[in-house]
Amino acid sequence: MPRTTRRLIAPIQTTLANACRRAPEDPAIFRGVLTELGVVPLLELLERSQCTGRLVLTRGYTSLKLDWIHGRIVADGARHVLEIASGWQDGTFELLPVSFDGRHQTYSVAELVIDLAYEADERARHPFAQTARG
């Protein structure tokens, strides 16, 4: 990431990290518009900020949810949500406080993005075959 970009993002990341430590009874931790940030950069920001909560992505009548634990995406349905939302250029997002019980399988943003790119590449090269990972 360029030095200027890091300097601009650092205060936002610090504010977000502090907001993620708030009590679960508080209202939304963070919200905004996807046209200003984009889905993948938003996910990377949440990951670096070590957030825990539920990210709600909304576009028109479609709402998608991704749960986060300490900056990692909870596996349940995450791949499907990213397949749909990664191409969104508009819409809104909101990070809501949520508490989680028990253990959950989680992914880093990079793991999911690389997996989805691999699968898209495999589908493009072999449109009628199922991928080994899917």
Domain presence at residue 56: yes
Range of the domain at 44: 3-125
Is pLDDT of 11 > 60? yes
Domain presence at residue 81: yes
C-alpha distances (whole Å) from 95 to each of 29, 40, 46, 83 are 5, 15, 9, 19
User: What pLDDT sits at residue 5?
Assistant: 61
Domain presence at residue 34: yes
Q: How many domains does the chain have?
A: 1
Domain presence at residue 132: no
Domain presence at residue 47: yes
β-pair partners for 62: 59
User: What pLDDT sits at residue 132?
Assistant: 52
Give the span between the Cα atoms of 20 and 35, in whole angstroms.
23
Give the span between the Cα atoms of 33 and 53, in whole angstroms.
18
Is pLDDT of 7 > 80? no
Domain presence at residue 134: no
pTM above 0.75, yes or no: no
Domain presence at residue 101: yes
Average pLDDT over residues 71-77: 87
pLDDT band at 99 (very low <50, low <70, confident <90, very high): confident
Helices and strands in the chain, H and E counts = 5, 6
33: three-class secondary structure by DSSP: strand
Is pLDDT of 24 > 70? no
Is pLDDT of 65 > 90? yes
User: What pLDDT sits at residue 40?
Assistant: 85
Domain presence at residue 133: no
